[in-house]
Amino acid sequence: MMRVSVVEDDANIAGLVSLYLSRARYRTEVMGSGREALGSLTSNPPDLLVLDLMLPEMDGLELCRALRADPVTARLPILILTARAEEADRVLGLELGADDYVTKPFSPKELVARVRALLRRSVGAAANCAPIRYGSVEMDLVRHAVLDGGREVQLTAKEFLLLQYFIEHKGRVLPRDLLLADVWGYRYAGGTRTVDVHVRRLREKLPVLAQAIVTIKQFGYKLADAPPGGHRGDTADVAAPIG
């Protein structure tokens, strides 16, 4: 049974989230403060984290930043559940490494659907055993590891899935709505800005993608068939195992 941690200081909301996740056959644990959660999450990481932002002792954004900086939890799927509905808050949460962002008031059934979609894609990323490569970038789908010229790069669960999708569909123009549907697994109510944030993070973490991911104005993105300065032979779909 997959385990979901809920970090929420409102006992009523925490109980509601835990109830619906338990009904969906997830094992849940609830923590009420950021500092309490940090020690527990790094010592025994769950399969997914539902995280409130307004927490005592350590707020959710600070906790998210700390989890992404720790190799043990760097790829932990994080779903932010918060009353902060402003676009600036949403973008900041995504930029700090959250994989999804849900605002209160919320539908418990929709929350469960988002948890299920995020876990399905996180687990499914390792279903194909063959590593894939794009130029200097190699993705090991079993170890959930990414190397750039031999240097390991830490990606969040959603960044990893987005990169995999780009490589598997290189040369194709991909509308933002399609990326949301196929990578996030639903029509994201928060709009397509989340795609832009994740693409920007991929470009920052993997320099080869800075020019290789082309922005199609008012539409979406396209990953070039080959990285700038490379050739098609550099972008074989299957590569030698990593490590």
**pLDDT, tens digit (0-9, with 9 covering 90-100), for 77-130:** 999 999 998 888 888 888 888 999 999 999 999 999 999 988 887 765 555 557
* Token code pair at residue 5: 């941690």
Cis peptide before 105 (omega within 30 of 0): yes
CA gap 10, 119 in Å, rounded: 24
CB count within 10 Å of CB 115 equals 24
In the prediction, which pLDDT does 235 show?
41
Q: What is the dihedral of CA 215, 203, 173, 80, to 10 degrees?
A: -100
CA gap 77, 79 in Å, rounded: 7
Tokens 């929350």, residue located? 111
* Token code pair at residue 152: 């390991």
In the prediction, which pLDDT does 182 show?
85
Instruction: Specify the pTM.
Output: 0.68
In the prediction, which pLDDT does 67 show?
94
Q: Please, what are the domains in the chain?
A: 3-124 (3.40.50.2300), 132-235 (1.10.10.10)
Q: Which of 102, 76, 78 is nearest to 90 (CA)?
A: 102
In the prediction, which pLDDT does 78 show?
95
CA gap 95, 119 in Å, rounded: 20
In the prediction, which pLDDT does 129 show?
59
Regions of the chain short of the pLDDT cut 70:
123-129, 186-191, 230-243
Angle, to 10 degrees, between the axis of helix 87-95 and the axis of helix 193-205?
30
Alpha-carbon 124 to chain mean position: 13
